[in-house]
Structure formats: structure tokens, C-alpha cells
Amino acid sequence: MTASPVGRATDRVEGRLKVTGAARYSADHPAQGTAYAHVVTSTIARGTITGVDTAAALAAPGVLRVYAAPEPRLRLYPVAEQVRGFSENYAPLQDADVRFHGQIIAMVVAETSEQARDAAALVTATYDARPPRTSLADGPRVEAGPSTGGTPSAVTVLAPGTDSIDAALAASDVVVEAAFHQPVQHHVAMEPQATLAVWNGDRVTVHAGAQIPAAYALVLSQRLGVLPGNVQLITRHVGGGFGGRVPVWSDAPLAAAAARELGRPVKLVLTREQVFTLAGHRSHLTQTVRLGASNDGILNAVSHESVAEMPASGGWNLLPAHSSSDTLYSTPNLRTDPHQVILDLPASRAMRGPNEAPGAFALETAMDELAIATGVDPVELRLRNYATVGPATGRPWSSKHLDECYRVGARRFGWSERDAAPRARVDGQWLLGTGMASAVYPATLHPANVRVRLLDDDTAVVSTAISDLGTGGWTMVAIAGADALGIPLERVTPEIGDTALPQGAPAVGSSATHSTVPMVVQAARDTIAELKRRAVTDAGSPWHGTDAADLRYERGSLHGHGRSMTFGQLLTTLGAPGVDATAAGPGGAPAQYGYHSFGAHFCEVRVNRFTGEARVTRFTTVADVGRIINARAARSQLVGGVIFGIGHALLEENPLELDTGRLAASTLADYLVPVHADIPDIDVHLLDRPDPVLTGPLGDGDEEVGTRSLGARGLGEIGTVGSAAAVGNAVFHATGIRVRDVPITPDKLL
């Protein structure tokens, strides 16, 4: 009997390629006659280019072209309104306007990357500069747009007889009000943005990292002014994304346009410093959370206001209360009010837990303050305000076991041994504290197409154009295929990362797995049905002329009428190399439910009394994320998310120079991210409770292989949401000092 790989700790199917260096990332792909590009960026944040001196660069060794704004030789075009969210709102090098410090104003193409880099340093520019808008206090606030799901971002729910959220707060026994500030943060993916563009007539093949391959190819086709079918994107191995590889940034269309103009392949790899500026960031923002409650901690009112940057060059609609304050806790009165300010900064972008991570830091910190104000234990406070329906929608959840997360996490962490008083534990020069926080993240079902093909050697190929950012997509597709077909994992070959394949689910919003797995199941079912049809209609089959309903597929074989054959044996008998079917899922789930993953974080920190240094020493996370497909990858994703949260809480910050608009810490020497020495062993527990609604009804175990829903739900970002607040709450417990502006650096604790 073949045991299903679902839920097991499975090694990555592409792991050997990666550890041996055989996996090719975007910049690793060769092409005959490749030329190399290097971009030149602006030194002002707002104004007009009055001149670009390219003479010295053109005279440098190996230089083929120098393109400078405004550049008539590189024909790039605006994109349609429907896909504006997948690009910046201007075409690079097409005009003389400067929109932010670090915008591309020129590009050198040479025979080698070193020659292009050296020549780019010789390009100089003059400007008519204007003062940039860089502060959230600089400009008028505008109301934020709707969420990505189309729902209004501002929400007001009032109990009968209550006139306003202010009235509800005034009627509360206890009111907590706290203001929070978060600076610019960056994705800092391991692989820098890189593009290789190769033209063949009017068709172009592009190697680049992308989280939504189909959208990436479509936007690139519009930028280049070619038919969508004339752009093939190959993105098989991607070194991290976190939201930063959703858009088509300026580098890809410039490389492709230069390759077209030159008539030879062009490769462009951004420097690390350029990536900080040209490939998005999480917007800086301020938040104000007000909580009103009874003396025993029962919430009466939740108000969450925010002001975030919206770069003039394009940006992410940051809604920090979305899926945090409007979701987590039961309250009769609720108000979320997000605003934005137009600033002259590089384009912002969604970043892991895009709304929820900053929103949860504010909400979960305020909840900790409410626990102090009411004298209620932080875990008990959350249980007293447990929401069985969405506070903003009134809809029940498809599946929710957050209360179990609290209880299991508290037990695993040893929460009951905690002394509630701040500064109660001292170990030499170290103050010890513990904190906790909730986590929540939406589960959205996206359209996805999957093809399953059975081959005559008893192997199968599962094909879908998703991308794997290091998150385990290759292996997830293989596991789902092996389970749906009832065959060993090693007999399944996944095909991903190529827009020539069936359009896959986007690798965004922790949605790739639960959007893809149901379509693998359906495609497997349809392929099995086609195999049965061939078995009864093909004259060479031993089942020719029988009823397909009498045949049963099980563990890679057909059975019926006293005969059994593997699908490979049958296909060989029929002289057919294979049989396949493609399933197409429209996305969306029944509207009567809310769909979220949930979790609880518990953290211990040590803070040096003399230096203010904070060290995380223990961390426990319990997550309710539906059925686990790959236990090893799931744990890895949760650990990675928590590490993101630790960086959010203690380290990550890119200071903005208000007078110049320059992001001042745009190198890995200055922008600090957690390293091994910063991270303890992280205890992760997965409830593994299948979601019975999101991906279709669960079976009872008696179904034919390929017909059951697995009940999976996304988990890539839930670890990031709330983990920073757990760290901050632990720092307060250790020191008695409440820090509401991240990162929590030593100077704020001295």
C-alpha cells in the first residue's frame, strides 16, 4: 500500500539542485551573445532632469549603448488601469521627471557586467530640483482605497443606541489609547532583482523572479507593446519574494527593451543598494489604537486609525486594521479609519503580512496595555473577547481554533509560571520578561489551473505556472499529485515557474497552496476519468466495450472485471505515451463564511539593564492553518515568519532623510536583519485541523483516490503577524518600559 505523503516531513524535491548549485536563478541562465546592463539612478527626489552627460561612458571600454532619459530608442508604454497595481505608474526613461531619490535616469549596456558598472559611474546629470514631500505631516490626508478584496477599508459598526465610536469609548470603564510609529521596512530577499531578456523575432523570453507569473508576463507585454502571448516568463527558482516580486519594476522592461533595440540578449542585475530603492518597501506609517472595556476586560469599543505613505510613483494601499482590528476580537463597537499621504518616495509594495503585521503590532500591544490596566492575564483577556463571528461582517469562520492555540501555546511555553509584575525576574545584569500576542491572516482562494499527465512509464507530471520563492511550491505540487493519484512521491514530477504551463495561482497572500491543491485533486480526478474512458473505448484495451463505471482506480492501477493493470501498463498496451487533463479553478469561496488562519505567539526576552540590549531567548508559536501538506516546509515557514517579526520588533529600520528623500540605510551593512545569533530555537506547533469549507467538503476516507479535499489553508505569513508584538510585550514585562515605535532599540530602553 502506498502511504500518502500529505502531512509528513518531506524533503524538498528540488533540494539536491539547490545544495549542489545546479538550480538556476534568473541571473544564472546563459544566452549566446549576452550583453550586460547597469542602471544609473537620480540623486534628487523631485524635479526635472535638465541634462545627462554620457560622453565619458560612451568612450569607455566595451560600452555598446548608453540610454538616458528621455530615451526615444527604448519604446516603453503605460499599462492598463486593470493591472496598474502590478507596476509603477510611470514608464522608465520615457520622460525627464524625477519622482523619487534613486529613480533610474540612465542605463549603460556593455560587453561585460564590470564594463557596464564602471561606465555607469561616468554618467553625470543635472537637475531642476524641487523640495520633495517626505513627511506624513507634509501633505493633506486622503482616505485609503478599498482592500484587495474590494471591501471598504473604513468600517464603522455601532451598537444600537450608540451614536459614535467616541461615545462608546466614553461609556467604557477602562480606556487605553496608544500611538505607534513604524519606519520604512524592506523585503531584503536573498536574490537581488535580475532579468535576462532574449528576443526571437517579435517574441521575448524573460528570466526573472516573479510571484505572479501570468500577471508579470501580461504587464511586461503592455510595457513593451507586444501581444501578451509573445512574452514567456521563466521563473523556476526564486530566491525570496515577500511581496517584492509581485510588480514588474523598471529593471525588467528596460532590459527587454534594450535587448530588442540591440538585437542581442541583455542581462541586468541590480546591486543590493539599488534593490532597496527600486524594488519596493513597506510604507512607513503611524497608527492610533483606542480600546474601551469593562473593568473585567470585556471590550466595548475598538478604534484603529492610521496614516501611511502613498508614493506618487505608485504604491501599496496599506490598511493596518484590515484583518487585525476588524477581525480578531468580539466588540459591539468598531471603527477603522485608514488614511494616506502622497509623498515623493520610491514605490511601496506589499510586504509579508502587508496590512496585518503592522496592524497586529499596534492592536496586540494595546491589548497588552489593556491587560495591565484591568489586571486580567493577557491570555485570559483574549479568551474573554474571543470572536465566534467576524466583528465587521457578522459571518462565522470556515474553521477557527484560536482558543486551542492559546491554551496549547500557554502550556508548551509554561505561561502559568509567569509573574505578572514587570521587572520581577532578574538574572545578574539581565532583566527577563515574557509576552504573548495573537495572529490572524486572511485565506483567499485565487484562480488556478493545473494539468496532470500520466505517462506510460508509470510516472506522472503535474504542471502549473506557480513560482516557488523558497517556500516549497515544487514539493507541494508533487505531494498533492502523489496523494491525488495514490502513487509514491518519487514517481511524480512537478513542473512550475513557466508561463507556457497552465496559469497557476499567485504566490501571494499565503494562498498558493490552498488555491493549487484542490485543482491538483480535480485534475487528477479528470485524468483518471480520461484513463477509464480510454480503457473502455480503445480496441486494444482489455476492458474494451465495458462500462467505465465498473472500473476502479486505486494506487496507480485500474481494477475491474477480474483484471488489474497499472496506468503505465495500460498506456503501453494502447500505444499511447500518456493521458492528461487540465482543471481550472475560478477562485473564490462561499460568501457566507470568513476565511482566516489563526495563531498565538509566546516570547521570552532578556534585556541588559546597563546597555538596553534585548535578546529573544525563547519563542513558541501555535498555528491553526488547516491541513498540513508538508510538515517540514510548514514548520520552516512559521519559523521564517517569526524571524521576520523579531526583525520587525528589534532591528529593521531604514531612516528617511526628510530634506533629500534618500533612504539612508540601503545596504545590508546598515539595514539590520536578524542573523543566527539573534534567533533561539523556535518551538512551532501546528494544530493540523482541516478546513471543511475553503477548498471544498472533506471526504470520509472511502472516496476513490483523487476526489477528496485536503482542507489546506495558507501559512506563509501568519508567523509574521503578531510576533513583533509578542517581543515588544515581553520587553515591557522585562523592563516596565513600553515602546510603541519600532524597532525597539537600546536607546529607547535606557
Is the overall model pTM greater than 0.85, yes or no? yes
**At 582, which helix (H) or strand (E)?**
strand 578-585
Pairing of strands 563-566, 578-585: unpaired
Banded pLDDT at 597 (limits 50, 70, 90) = very high
Q: What φ, ψ does residue 703 adopt, rounded to 5°?
A: -75, 160
- Taking residues 260-286, report their average pLDDT: 98
DSSP bridge partners of 95: none
Using DSSP's 3-state secondary structure scheme, residue 28 falls into helix
Q: Which pLDDT score, from 0 to 100, does residue 705 have?
A: 66
Using DSSP's 3-state secondary structure scheme, residue 548 falls into helix
**Do the beta carbons of residue 36 and residue 116 sit within 8 Å?**
yes
717 catalytic? Reply is yes
Q: What φ, ψ does residue 363 adopt, rounded to 5°?
A: -65, -45
Q: Residue 552: which of 541, 565, 569, 542 has the closest Cα?
A: 565
Distance between CA atoms of 727 and 298, rounded to whole angstroms? 24
Banded pLDDT at 701 (limits 50, 70, 90) = low
DSSP bridge partners of 608: 430
Q: Which pLDDT score, from 0 to 100, does residue 707 have?
A: 60
Burial, 99: exposed, middle or buried (Cβ in 10 Å; 0-12, 13-18, 19+)?
A: buried
Count the Cβ atoms, other than its own, within 10 Å of residue 166.
Answer: 15
**Do the beta carbons of residue 279 and residue 244 sit within 8 Å?**
yes
DSSP bridge partners of 184: 654
- Taking residues 721-748, report their average pLDDT: 98
Q: Which pLDDT score, from 0 to 100, does residue 504 have?
A: 97
Q: Which pLDDT score, from 0 to 100, does residue 700 have?
A: 67
CA-based angle 161:167:170, to the nearest 5?
Answer: 130
Q: Cell 536574490 belongs to which residue?
A: 191
Structural domains of the chain, ranges and CATH numbers in brackets: 14-22+445-585 (3.30.365.10), 35-131+190-240+245-279 (3.30.365.10), 282-443+591-748 (3.30.365.10)
User: Could you read off the pLDDT of 507-539 as tens digits, one per residue?
Assistant: 999 999 999 999 999 999 999 999 999 999 999
User: Could you read off the pLDDT of 75-128 as tens digits, one per residue?
Assistant: 999 999 999 999 999 999 999 999 999 999 999 999 999 999 999 999 999 999
Active-site residue, selected from the candidate residues 88, 191, 604, 717: 717
Q: Which pLDDT score, from 0 to 100, does residue 697 have?
A: 79
pLDDT higher than 60, residue 593: yes
Distance between CA atoms of 478 and 494, rounded to whole angstroms? 5
Q: Which pLDDT score, from 0 to 100, does residue 706 have?
A: 62
Query: CB-based contacts of 614: which residues, under 8 Å, 6+ apart?
Result: 605, 606, 607, 608, 650, 727, 731, 734, 744, 746, 749
Grid coordinates representing 728 are 515588544
pLDDT higher than 70, residue 733: yes
* Chain mean pLDDT for the chain: 97
pLDDT higher than 80, residue 1: no
Grid coordinates representing 349 are 509594495
CA-based angle 139:250:231, to the nearest 5?
Answer: 135
User: Could you read off the pLDDT of 438-491 as tens digits, one per residue?
Assistant: 999 999 999 999 999 999 999 999 999 999 999 999 999 999 999 999 999 999
Grid coordinates representing 529 are 476519468
Distance between CA atoms of 379 and 407, rounded to whole angstroms? 8
